[in-house]
Amino acid sequence: MRQLPHWIDGKARDAADGGWLEVFDPATGKPFAQVADGTAQDVEAAVAAAEAALPAWSALPDTERARWLEKLAQALEDRLDDFAHAESKDGGKPLKLAREVEIPRAISNLRFFAHAATQFASESHHGQAGLNYTLRRPLGVVGTISPWNLPLYLFTWKIAPALAAGNTVVAKPSEITPQTATMLGELAAQIGFPNGVLNIVHGLGPKVGEAIVGHPRIKALSFTGSTAVGKRIAGVAAPMLKKVSLELGGKNPTLVFADSAWQEHLDTIVRSAFQNSGQICLCGSRILVERGIYARFRDALVERALALKVGDPIDSDVRLGPLVSQAHFDKVIAAIARARSEGGNVLCGGNALDRPGWFVQPTVIDGLGPDCATNLDEIFGPVVTLQPFDDDAQALALANAGEYGLAASIWTRDLNRAHRFASEIRAGIVWINTWLMRDLRTPFGGMGQSGLGREGGLEAMRFFTEPKNVGIAL
């Protein structure tokens, strides 16, 4: 069985105590690889390597760091197909999605921050007393912890700005989908990326994740994952006065107004509900529909959901693969059972597929109000609810119900309403007549229980640097 080691100091390494964890193929439910079951000792080795590499890496001209990131991006692009296959096998996502969206996005992340390294500038303030300017220095050794839903895309979204800004990194991918990060470590070694600059330590959250978060010489931590783990990390990092960026869960509203061109946009609305089997933090899982079109919209959505092909991620016409793990499958199935017990009408789906692997049918539920657990808790699967609304005030109240505040999409032809809602909805990202329109320069992140801080563009470069003000009397 294939073994996936750590990559520390430019070399493949087994876990310090020789332990391995099984990695499963979600389409069969069977293990197909093993990943290093890392320990605090492995994190210590990675920190030592990152510290040793820091002086030379942070002293490189920006253009040289950019060149390395660009070189890594090119090497990844040359192997795009292998990486797409690995991503699809690990996470059960349709190969087409990995090939056309997610691995290309990982390449773009590396390229984008290669450019950012050379474009990043700091401020100066010329006043009566003199001149103030801001130095922005790298933080040192930083930690990144990423989830399983967009494995390489989110892994690179963190390491690229950290490296571009001159830090060295200890990065932990999810133990559930460790394959492509390992391949990236191998690729970095193959192209001669300086040793110790990017260290990848695998393993479980409570062992390796917590060792990274609590390590006194790791200066900052960028985390994407669940709200529960984000809060735990904040609890460890806060008393250490460690800088943290937390990108957490969501329960995003999709607002469909009667005046919208919803029939034309139905493809995108369906994608926003079910892409990657609903396992994207930005998916719209609460669809709010103006009452005048409710019945027509509901029937059209159900018809589309029933037509989505669920099956082997490798098949090119499959739109939904399996859920990522047995534990996540159990959670989603339990959430559907809970929706039934809360009085929801399951309009389509609602069951697992009768085959090996962790497949769940696309599921649409209505008949539930904003206060039930189904509409408050993140499910993170191919499960959406529908709620009707009568006017703008009710639409806004429904959109803002609950504690999350990550993303929202608004579908309307009324420009004033669109801008008013964009301003009043409690979410870090709002899309009008579109979904998942990403520009890597924009601030990315959520409010409330969806997180703390922003990633993307200059926000990420600022996060990974320490500002220092210098005042000169003139």
Summarize as ranges the residues that interact with ligand NAD (CB under 6 A): 145-149, 154, 172, 174-175, 205-206, 209-210, 213, 224-226, 229, 232-233, 247-250, 281, 378, 380, 406, 446, 450-451
Query: For the residues of 410-461, what is the DSSP string, one character each?
Result: EE-S-HHHHHHHHHHS--SEEEES-S----TTS-B--EETTEES-BSHHHHH
Which residue, 213 or 418, is less far from ligand NAD as judged by CB?
213
Question: What is the rounded CA–CA span in Å between residue 433 and residue 256?
Answer: 9
State the nearest-atom distance from the C-beta of 418 to ligand NAD, in Å.
24
Which residue, 171 or 197, is less far from ligand NAD as judged by CB?
171
State the nearest-atom distance from the C-beta of 327 to ligand NAD, in Å.
9
Query: For the residues of 331-396, what is the DSSP string, one character each?
Result: HHHHHHHHHHHTT-EEEE--SB-SSSS--B--EEEES--TTSHHHHS---SSEEEEEEESSHHHHH
Which residue, 223 or 297, is less far from ligand NAD as judged by CB?
223
CB distance 115 to 461 below 8 Å: no
Q: Which of 1, 330, 16, 331 is nearest to 203 (CA)?
A: 16
Within 13 Å, how many C-alpha atoms sit on residue 195's CB side?
A: 9
CB distance 330 to 379 below 8 Å: no
State the nearest-atom distance from the C-beta of 15 to ligand NAD, in Å.
15
Element (H, E) at 58: helix 40-59
**Residue tagged active-site, from 247, 290, 378, 459:** 247
Tokens of 372: 């039930």
Sign of the dihedral defined by the CA atoms of residues 334, 148, 368, 302, in that order: negative
Question: What is the rounded CA–CA span in Å between residue 457 and residue 355?
Answer: 43
Which residue, 350 or 381, is less far from ligand NAD as judged by CB?
381
State the nearest-atom distance from the C-beta of 290 to ligand NAD, in Å.
27
Q: At a CB cut-off of 8 Å and minimum separation 6, what does 96 contact?
A: 316, 318
State the nearest-atom distance from the C-beta of 221 to ligand NAD, in Å.
9
**For the chain, how big is the Rg over CA atoms in Å?**
23
CB distance 185 to 200 below 8 Å: yes
The amino acid occupying position 265 is H
Beta bridge mates, 346: 365
Which residue, 21 or 289, is less far from ligand NAD as judged by CB?
21
Which residue, 147 or 344, is less far from ligand NAD as judged by CB?
147
Tokens of 403: 């504690």
State the nearest-atom distance from the C-beta of 303 to ligand NAD, in Å.
28
Question: What is the rounded CA–CA span in Å between residue 312 and residue 367?
Answer: 32
Which residue, 160 or 213, is less far from ligand NAD as judged by CB?
213
Known catalytic membership, residue 22: no
Which residue, 225 or 350, is less far from ligand NAD as judged by CB?
225
State the nearest-atom distance from the C-beta of 134 to ligand NAD, in Å.
28
State the nearest-atom distance from the C-beta of 254 to ligand NAD, in Å.
16
Known catalytic residues are 247
